[in-house]
Amino acid sequence: MDAVKVFNFIISIVFIVCYSYQFLYILIPYVMKDKPMKPAVGHRYAVLISARNEQAVIAKLIESIRRQSYDLGLVTTFVVADNCTDDTARVAAEAGAIVFERFDSVRVGKGYALNYLLRRIDELFPERPFDGYFVFDADNVLEENYIEEMNKVFSNGSEIVTSYRNSKNFGDNWISAGYALWFLRESKYLNGARMKLGTSCAVSGTGFLFSQKVLEECGGWNFFLLTEDIEFTVFNVIRGRKIGYCRSAMLYDEQPTRFTQSWRQRLRWARGYLQVFGKHGGGLLSGIAHGSFSCFDMTMNIMPAAVLSFLGVFINGAAAVFGLATGQDISVVGESLLSMLGNSYLTLIIIGGVTTVSEWKRIYAPNWKKLVFTLTFPFFMFTYIPISFAALFARRVTWKPIAHTRSASLAEIRAAAETLSSRTA
C-alpha cells in the first residue's frame, strides 16, 4: 500500500510540473502593461450565429448587435437555424438577421452548421466582401462597444481574436456559478496573460473573430469534432498563428443549471479534447519539440488533467479493491487519496477565490452567493473526474443542444446588477 502513496505523490508532482506556469499567469495582468495599439480602421464584418431551437433568446442577441457603437453599415448578421423545430428562423428574421434554414440529421453539430452558413454566404456574396467573421451563440448578449473594441485588436494585426466571457446567471446555483468562474478565470488569467506575454490565446466556443485570410488558409470551416472551437484553435496554433484577446469586449451567456445537462455538455467537451489530441497531437508535440510555448500551453489545456485524474482514481480504486480482497489495511489508500483531494480542493479554492475577488464587480449575483459558490467551485471541478472516465469509455458521444431560456437584454442585465448593488450597498 505504500506504493500507492508514492504513486499519488508522483501524480501530484506531475500536476505541478504541468500547471505551475498557470499560477504565474495570475501575476501577469498586474505586472505587465498592455502594448500600445495603432489607431483602428473600419472593417466589414459578418456575424455568424448557429441556432437550434433558440426562439426564446436569439432576438436579444440580435438586438444587442443592432445597438453596437460600431458603424452598423459595416456589419451584417447571419443566422443558420439548424434542425429547428420551433420559430427560431422567424424570430431571427423579424429581429433583422439574414436567415438560412438547415436540416441534416446525419451531420449534426455546430461545426457543420457554420460550414453550411459560410457556404450560403459565399453564394449570396460571391465577391467575399467581409474582412472578418464573428461567431456567437444564440444565448449571447453583447456590450454596446463589443465590436468596436474587437475591431481595435483586429486592426492591430490579430487575425483571430477572442473576448471576455461573462455570465447572465452566475447566481442560479453551484453549477452555473462553476461554469461562470471557469470562463471568467480563462478570460482574465489565461487569455489575458497570454496576450500580454505575446503567446497565443485560445478560442472558447463563442465570442470570437477571425479574418477572411484565416478562413481561406483553413480551406473554409472544416472543424467538425465535438469541440470545434478547440480544434480551430489548435489547428492555427500548430501553424504558428497567435490568437489575440480583447479584454474590453464583453459578452454574457447562459450557463446550464441542471447536472444532467451539464454532464452531457462536459462529456462532449471531454471526448472532444481526446478527439483533438488524437487528430492534432502529433502536430502539437512537434511544435513543442521545436520550442513552441503556445503548443505546450494548448497541450496542457486539453490533455494531462483528464489523463492524470483518470490514473489517480483508477490506481487508488484498484488498490482499495485489492486490499479488501486480500484482507490488507487500506487506510493508507484512504489517507493518501484524501490528502490528494484536500490539496486539490485548496488549489481550486485559490484559483476560484482570486477570480471572484478580481472580477467581483463584474459578477452579477448577491455577495453571499459569490462567496458560497467560490467554496463550491472545487466540487464543480471534481465532477470532471467521473466525466473523464465516461469520455474514455462511453460508446457514443454526440452533439446535443443545450436549452436556453434566460431571455434578457443588456439593459435588463444591467438593471438586475444595479438592483443587486443597491441591496448590498
Q: Would you list the domain boundaries of the chain?
A: 1-31+40-425
Q: How far is C-alpha 123 from the geometric centre of its chain's CA atoms?
A: 31
Residue 1 has pLDDT above 90, yes or no: no
What average pLDDT does range 388-404 have in this prediction?
A: 83
User: Are 211 and 159 in contact, with CB atoms under 8 Å apart?
Assistant: yes
User: Are 249 and 149 in contact, with CB atoms under 8 Å apart?
Assistant: yes
User: Are 273 and 303 in contact, with CB atoms under 8 Å apart?
Assistant: yes
Q: Which of 65, 93, 94, 67 is nearest to 79 (CA)?
A: 93
Spatial CB neighbours of 243, under 8 Å, sequence gap ≥ 6: 158, 160, 161, 162, 200, 201, 202, 203, 233, 236, 237
Judged by average pLDDT, the poorest of 5-9, 188-192, 277-281 is: 5-9
Judged by average pLDDT, the poorest of 1-15, 164-178, 182-196, 347-361 is: 1-15
- Residue scoring higher pLDDT (410 or 209): 209
Judged by average pLDDT, the poorest of 9-13, 104-108, 262-266, 332-336 is: 332-336
* pLDDT for res 393: 83
* pLDDT for res 394: 81
Reported as a single tens digit per residue, the pLDDT across 231-250 is 999 999 999 999 999 999 99
- Provide the mean pLDDT of the chain: 91
What average pLDDT does range 343-354 have in this prediction?
A: 91
What average pLDDT does range 93-106 have in this prediction?
A: 97
Specify the pTM.
0.92
Residue 425 has pLDDT above 70, yes or no: no
Cell for 124? 449570396
* pLDDT for res 390: 87
State how far the alpha carbon of 212 is from the alpha carbons of 122, 154, 368, in Å: 12, 12, 46
Q: Which phi and psi (to 5°) does residue 165 adopt?
A: -110, 110
Judged by average pLDDT, the poorest of 91-105, 233-247, 319-333 is: 319-333
What is the 8-class DSSP label of residue 34?
Answer: P
Q: Are strands 75-82 and 45-51 parallel, antiparallel or unpaired?
A: parallel
Q: What is the DSSP string of 290-302?
A: TT-HHHHHHHHHH
Q: Which phi and psi (to 5°) does residue 130 adopt?
A: -90, 135
* pLDDT for res 423: 62
Residue 172 has pLDDT above 60, yes or no: yes
What average pLDDT does range 59-64 have in this prediction?
A: 97
* pLDDT for res 304: 63
Reported as a single tens digit per residue, the pLDDT across 108-165 is 999 999 999 999 999 999 999 999 999 999 999 999 999 999 999 999 999 999 999 9
Question: How far is the C-alpha of 196 from the C-alpha of 29, rounded, in Å?
Answer: 7
- Residue scoring higher pLDDT (80 or 416): 80
Q: Which of 121, 288, 117, 134 is nearest to 206 (CA)?
A: 134
CATH assignment, 1-31+40-425: 3.90.550.10
State how far the alpha carbon of 318 is from the alpha carbons of 4, 309, 315, 321, 380, in Å: 10, 14, 5, 5, 25
* pLDDT for res 30: 93
Q: How far is C-alpha 214 from the geometric centre of its chain's CA atoms?
A: 20
Q: Confidence class of residue 276 from pLDDT cuts 50, 70 and 90?
A: very high
Percent of the chain with pLDDT over 90: 72
State how far the alpha carbon of 132 is from the alpha carbons of 48, 72, 206, 219, 265, in Å: 10, 14, 15, 15, 29
State how far the alpha carbon of 31 is from the alpha carbons of 25, 42, 192, 312, 352, in Å: 10, 32, 12, 36, 20
* pLDDT for res 2: 66
What average pLDDT does range 381-409 have in this prediction?
A: 84
- Residue scoring higher pLDDT (126 or 415): 126
* pLDDT for res 104: 95
